Structure 1
Amino acid sequence: MPALAMAASTGWSQTLQEWATNIRLALYALGGTLGLGCLMWSGIRWLIARATGDHSHTFMDYLQQVAVLVVVGGTMVLGAAAWQVFGTGAPA
């Protein structure tokens, strides 16, 4: 009976593992796309502010946006690593 239970659970756990991998990849794709979009928008605002001469958006504002992206991206990477370690019991 344990062999039968092990055989049945192997397919199910494989399916869950594939779903977890797909969700993690989707989070990376979504986070990366949004991060690049925000960084490009900040750069465009900086260029427009320089072109018009009002300096409403400066290089420091752009660097602050980069720092936010580093923090959020780092959180995503650490979260996915923790998910692998604590979810499967083995490091990535």
Structure 2
Amino acid sequence: MPSTALAAVPNSSFKTSVTSGYAPLKVTFTYTGGSTAGVISHIWRYGDGATCQTCWNPYHIYLKAGTYKATLTIKNTSGTSTTAHYITVK
């Protein structure tokens, strides 16, 4: 009999190389959610209007002071998951 088990909702966990610093601030984002098998789509939003839909472990340079909500959203056939971290640029 074929398996009817559904894939688990994806894990969108990630870590950042830094959470605060002075502009221009380079932040490396590292996906820590495990396998990307079955992922339909994903998008990084850096909180300043910039995004990336093709990268898994990108970096981003923040040019202006402020607090930015950086998110990773991942979608598979079972659902969508979003994780956020805040970056403070002085």
Does TM, normalized by the shorter one, top 0.5?
no
Which protein, 1 or 2, shows the higher relative CO under an 8 Å CA cutoff with sep ≥ 6? 2
Bigger proportion of residues as strand:
2
TM-score by length of 2: 0.29
